[in-house]
Chains A and B, each alone.
Chain A
């Protein structure tokens, strides 16, 4: 399928209807997920704030999923020198940064009533913050190089460096957290979620996936159009 879609024209024809379909699916799932979230029973300890989980946890999951997409697109872009893969990588980074920021912000909002503090230097929180900084660095590098193919290649190399480094960073931060005494406010999650929490979480995760898919396709389309407009402008200028 990917090979067929590598043709920009075929991709544009495919994404023309795929993006709206995904958006409708995302809207439907979001509505269902939110309804499930609000009709879920209150947690016996956390009360109503447990509902933040259904917004927070899928965002954290998407933060990593977007990076995997970014890494894959960068690899394809570097190996096959494909324009569409470069556009996909370029389009993916702000979405990933957005989901990461959402995860951090909802985490802070959840942390305030539950842990009694906005921010904890907990291993997971810290590594997500590093991931966010890495997204910013990636976008900064892309923005700082004028030539577009060169910018795409440089940031692609950085994305691959990150693909190797992010697991190491994750490991080192976990290690650091066990060396230092873990914050006592942080409560280890229960053994497993009961189904009335699992369902809204799963539906919301699928909704986020569909939303990301729709936005990604729209952004890649915008990239393709922007390039086309640029080359037309160059032609017109002679």
Chain B
């Protein structure tokens, strides 16, 4: 257990510390949000109607950014080989990596998401709901994305490949995440959407590490 804790702290430090860490993803998120009014027009009514959805779309795109480094660096310098030989199963390693990815990338993005949505014209009353849905959804995005990152290990052109593999799989969290906010904003019952989103994230948390570990073993073989 303590070994996994150390691994988790290491992953957290690496995701947080090197190569810009979450700052890069946050800046990307802000950039996408900035381009939106430039593309669809600055009319407040139009922006406000798409703000929560646009925030979720930008969130999904921003969570792709750091996926490439999730396994690739450890794969290239041989750390992944050592981790595979170590006492902890690769599934636990994948779990630690996914959780660290969520805390170091998903959580800062979830903090920024309400800011972006409000800047685009969403009501202030939506802020807690946007944060909650982005935080819960971020867990699902991290673990689903991690599968793509592990699968593309050892391939040519990793980054684009991860996006192509993973983005179709992001459909459910985006639908439920934006659905929570949409339902809440229009006074409907938002709990079903939030339950579905949580269910998706928990399923990704449970099954994602299995697929990631299988993909890592395959890449190392």
Q: With the chains together, A56 CA to B92 CA distance in Å?
A: 46
- Cβ of A198 within 8 Å of any chain B Cβ, yes or no, is no
Q: Are A161 and B171 in contact (CB under 8 A)?
A: no
Taking CB atoms, residues of chain B closer than 8 Å to A147 are 154
Identity of the chain A residue whose Cβ is nearest the Cβ of B188 in the assembled complex = A179
Q: Are A140 and B164 in contact (CB under 8 A)?
A: yes
Q: Are B175 and A175 in contact (CB under 8 A)?
A: yes
- Cβ of A7 within 8 Å of any chain B Cβ, yes or no, is no
Q: Are B164 and A179 in contact (CB under 8 A)?
A: no
Taking CB atoms, residues of chain B closer than 8 Å to A173 are 171, 175
- Cβ of A224 within 8 Å of any chain B Cβ, yes or no, is no
Q: Are A145 and B179 in contact (CB under 8 A)?
A: no
Q: How far in angstroms is the closest Cβ of chain A from B86? A: 22
Identity of the chain B residue whose Cβ is nearest the Cβ of A171 in the assembled complex = B172
- Cβ of A165 within 8 Å of any chain B Cβ, yes or no, is yes
Q: Are A179 and B179 in contact (CB under 8 A)?
A: yes
Of residues 150 to 166 in A, which have CB atoms within 8 Å of B's CB atoms?
150, 153-154, 157-158, 160-162, 164-165
Stretch at the interface among A104-112, A131-139, A212-220: A131-139
CB within 8 Å: A-B pair count? 84
Taking CB atoms, residues of chain A closer than 8 Å to B218 are 150, 153-154, 157
Q: Are A144 and B175 in contact (CB under 8 A)?
A: no
Q: Are A133 and B196 in contact (CB under 8 A)?
A: no
Q: Are B171 and A172 in contact (CB under 8 A)?
A: yes
Of residues 175 to 213 in B, which have CB atoms within 8 Å of A's CB atoms?
175-176, 179, 182-183, 193, 196, 200, 203, 207, 211
Q: Are B168 and A172 in contact (CB under 8 A)?
A: no
Taking CB atoms, residues of chain B closer than 8 Å to A50 are none
Q: With the chains together, A130 CA to B168 CA distance in Å?
A: 6
How many chain-B residues does the 8 Å CB contact rule pick out?
31
Q: Are B155 and A145 in contact (CB under 8 A)?
A: yes
Taking CB atoms, residues of chain B closer than 8 Å to A168 are 172, 200, 203
Q: Are B175 and A172 in contact (CB under 8 A)?
A: yes
Q: What is the interface of chain A mostly: helix, strand, loop, or mixed?
A: helix
Identity of the chain B residue whose Cβ is nearest the Cβ of A78 in the assembled complex = B214
- Cβ of B147 within 8 Å of any chain A Cβ, yes or no, is yes
Taking CB atoms, residues of chain A closer than 8 Å to B193 are 179
- Cβ of B124 within 8 Å of any chain A Cβ, yes or no, is no
Identity of the chain A residue whose Cβ is nearest the Cβ of B218 in the assembled complex = A153
Q: Are A172 and B215 in contact (CB under 8 A)?
A: no
Q: Given A161-B211, A172-B196, answer yes or no on A144-B157 (Cβ-Cβ < 8 Å).
A: yes
Q: Are A141 and B207 in contact (CB under 8 A)?
A: no
Q: Are A146 and B156 in contact (CB under 8 A)?
A: yes
- Cβ of A186 within 8 Å of any chain B Cβ, yes or no, is no
Q: What is the interface of chain B mostly: helix, strand, loop, or mixed?
A: helix
- Cβ of A35 within 8 Å of any chain B Cβ, yes or no, is no
Taking CB atoms, residues of chain A closer than 8 Å to B200 are 168, 172
Q: Given A157-B214, A157-B218, answer yes or no on A175-B165 (Cβ-Cβ < 8 Å).
A: no
Q: Are B155 and A144 in contact (CB under 8 A)?
A: yes
Q: Are A150 and B183 in contact (CB under 8 A)?
A: no
- Cβ of B6 within 8 Å of any chain A Cβ, yes or no, is no
- Cβ of B167 within 8 Å of any chain A Cβ, yes or no, is yes
Q: Given A141-B151, A168-B200, A173-B171, answer yes or no on A136-B176 (Cβ-Cβ < 8 Å).
A: no
Q: Are A169 and B168 in contact (CB under 8 A)?
A: yes
- Cβ of B221 within 8 Å of any chain A Cβ, yes or no, is yes
Q: Are B168 and A137 in contact (CB under 8 A)?
A: yes
Taking CB atoms, residues of chain B closer than 8 Å to A38 are none
Neighbour of A165 across the interface among B154, B169, B175, B219, CB < 8 A: B169
A-B CB contact pairs (8 Å), 10 listed: A130-B168, A134-B168, A137-B168, A140-B164, A141-B152, A144-B157, A144-B161, A154-B219, A173-B175, A179-B193
Known: A158-B151, A161-B211. 11 other contacts (CB 8 A): A136-B164, A145-B156, A154-B152, A154-B215, A157-B211, A158-B165, A161-B169, A168-B172, A168-B203, A175-B196, A176-B179
- Footprint of B on A, CB under 8 Å? 130, 133-134, 136-137, 140-141, 144-147, 150, 153-154, 157-158, 160-162, 164-165, 168-169, 171-173, 175-176, 179
- Footprint of A on B, CB under 8 Å? 147, 151-152, 154-157, 161, 164-165, 167-169, 171-172, 175-176, 179, 182-183, 193, 196, 200, 203, 207, 211, 214-215, 218-219, 221
